[in-house]
Chain A
Amino acid sequence: MEPAVTIRGLRVVRGGREVLHGLELEVEAGRVTGLLGPSGSGKTTLMRCVVGAQVVAGGAVTVLGLPAGTPALRARVGYQTQAPSVYADLTVLENLAYAAALLGVGRERVAETVALVGLGGHERQLAATLSGGEVARLSLAQALLGRPELLVLDEPTVGLDPVLRRDLWATFHDLAGAGATLLVSSHVMDEADRCDRLLLLREGALLASGTPAELRARTGADDLDAAFLALVEGPGGTAP
């Protein structure tokens, strides 16, 4: 199966500093791929490249067989930004109704998505009065509305309680089971085990990739936190 995202030699310069250094990676289709790495490792920049929001200095990003940012991709890729991008002065339903109208999806889908992210009962609440976790879920709902083939989610579970986190990860796998590809970033290693595949990013370079089990086996570490440290500090740690 063709990878959903193929990145070749991707270089990005931000603020006069190169933040991605000739990145090469693939995101397998129909899987939940975790993009992990410390804060400042380039996760958000990489995701912005995939959705076509980032000016790139070089390299190629191919998404669903097309160059990233192609107009035809806009309805096929859903993006949740790291900072929740919702209209604080609109209700939950009004925010989603606008996103739905832009995507051309109907009311049933809005109701379905509200339930999917656990915002039932908050429909008529102003986004400004939602808790941080609820705003994050509203932001996520906007990305899910169009049931896109590729979902790019930038730290979707930050600030959520463990129950909700578990439920959302289950939702992610349901979506992947239905054929969607998910690229989910996180900086907490305990979420890595919930992913089918992992991409470990450090200082703008790919440190390692593979399934959680493969990474544990390669490093001989019991948990992924230790595996990550071993990869960072160990000999040849910079090679993928």
Chain B
Amino acid sequence: MSARRTLATALRVLRQLRHDPRTVVLLLAVPCVLQVLVHELFRDRPQVFQSLGTPLLGLFPFVAMFLVTSITMLRERTSGTLERLLTTPIGRGDLLAGYALAFALVAAVQATLVSAVAFGLLGLESDHRATVVALAIANAVLGMALGLFASAFARTEFQAVQFMPAFVLPQILLCGLLVPRAQMAGWLQAVSDVLPLTYAYDALARLAGEDPFGARFRADLAVIAGATLLALALGAATLRRRTP
């Protein structure tokens, strides 16, 4: 791994985003608008917003970074830039770390902005605001890692977009946000047990409750980190220097 090549890759990805201001605006504005929508939806039941608001803060970056990364990486694969890159001295680790760094930065801006809206304008309460933002960034990196991996299975941008509902929606449905996991059928719980977003949601939900920092919280963090590293390793394995 080389710090120079990692930083150069992160800078390049950020420059690509800078030339696409519409995507940047969508990335930053859409989660804020959605957060406002949720707030308005439960206007008469503020306690629902109090329990949903924090987990949603952490889930938006996950979804957004999954999509952005899977499409950016797919473009890299189909445009031939990846093939040429892999004939240069760049390591696969440099490439992935560069992507992770760039999108973690974007996620940090996104999470900070949505938090400012939720905590500042919508009256969401939390004693652990900085931890919520940090967790949102961790979720973004997880989404990015899964997106990198998913991009290996898409041949076209249409397929990559379809991976969003395929990879992400089941995780949102089963993570406990809509129906508490204890109320799910046994086999659904078992599926939910192996989906990384379940642990991300659990950690965020704990932050919204009383006394969040127990052993379960630490276990959640460990699973998020482990799943991210696993997805990055699998993603790296799909970046082949030699192709048939």
Residues of A whose CB lies within 8 Å of any CB of B are 13-15, 51-55, 69, 71, 74-75, 77, 79, 81, 83-91, 94, 98-99, 101-104, 126, 142
**Contact yes or no, B90 A77, CB < 8 A:** no
In the complex formed, the residue of A with least CB distance to B86 is: A53
**Contact yes or no, A85 B83, CB < 8 A:** yes
- Say which residue of B5, B11, B84, B244 sits within 8 Å of A14 (CB atoms): B244
**Contact yes or no, A102 B89, CB < 8 A:** yes
A102–B11 CA distance with the chains assembled, in angstroms: 12
**Contact yes or no, B88 A103, CB < 8 A:** yes
User: What's the minimum C-beta distance from B130 to chain A, rounded to whole angstroms?
Assistant: 33
- Residues of chain B in range 86-114 having any CB-CB distance to chain A below 8 Å: 86-90
Q: Contacts A69-B241, A69-B242; is A89 near B87 (CB within 8 Å)? A: no
**Contact yes or no, B80 A89, CB < 8 A:** no
Chain B contact residues (Cβ within 8 angstroms of A): what range?
A: 20 to 34
Within 8 Å of chain A (Cβ to Cβ): is B44?
no
Mark interface residues in B1-28 (1 if CB within 8 Å of A CB, else 0). 0001101110110011001100000000
In the complex formed, the residue of A with least CB distance to B79 is: A85
**Contact yes or no, B87 A104, CB < 8 A:** no
In the complex formed, the residue of B with least CB distance to A88 is: B79
- Say which residue of B80, B241, B244 sits within 8 Å of A85 (CB atoms): B80
In the complex formed, the residue of A with least CB distance to B82 is: A85
**Contact yes or no, A81 B15, CB < 8 A:** no
Q: Contacts A53-B243, A89-B19, A102-B5; is A94 near B88 (CB within 8 Å)? A: no
A14–B244 CA distance with the chains assembled, in angstroms: 6
Chain A contacts for B80, CB-based, 8 A: 81, 83-85
**Contact yes or no, A101 B241, CB < 8 A:** no
A98–B11 CA distance with the chains assembled, in angstroms: 8
A51–B243 CA distance with the chains assembled, in angstroms: 12
Within 8 Å of chain A (Cβ to Cβ): is B81?
yes
Chain B contacts for A88, CB-based, 8 A: 79
- Say which residue of A52, A89, A103, A142 sits within 8 Å of B241 (CB atoms): A52
- Say which residue of B5, B12, B88, B242 sits within 8 Å of A55 (CB atoms): B242
Chain A contacts for B20, CB-based, 8 A: 89
Chain B contacts for A84, CB-based, 8 A: 80
Chain B contacts for A81, CB-based, 8 A: 80, 83-84
A136–B119 CA distance with the chains assembled, in angstroms: 51
Chain B contacts for A101, CB-based, 8 A: 4-5, 7-8, 11
In the complex formed, the residue of B with least CB distance to A79 is: B87
Given A88-B79, A126-B19, 5 more A-B residue pairs with CB atoms under 8 Å apart are A85-B79, A87-B81, A89-B16, A90-B12, A102-B90
User: What's the minimum C-beta distance from B22 to chain A, rounded to whole angstroms?
Assistant: 12
A99–B90 CA distance with the chains assembled, in angstroms: 10
A158–B198 CA distance with the chains assembled, in angstroms: 53
User: What's the minimum C-beta distance from A64 to chain B, rounded to whole angstroms?
Assistant: 14
**Contact yes or no, A52 B87, CB < 8 A:** yes
Chain B contacts for A55, CB-based, 8 A: 242-244
Chain A contacts for B86, CB-based, 8 A: 53
A75–B5 CA distance with the chains assembled, in angstroms: 13
User: What's the minimum C-beta distance from B31 to chain A, rounded to whole angstroms?
Assistant: 23
In the complex formed, the residue of B with least CB distance to A142 is: B84
Q: Contacts A53-B243, A86-B81; is A77 near B87 (CB within 8 Å)? A: yes
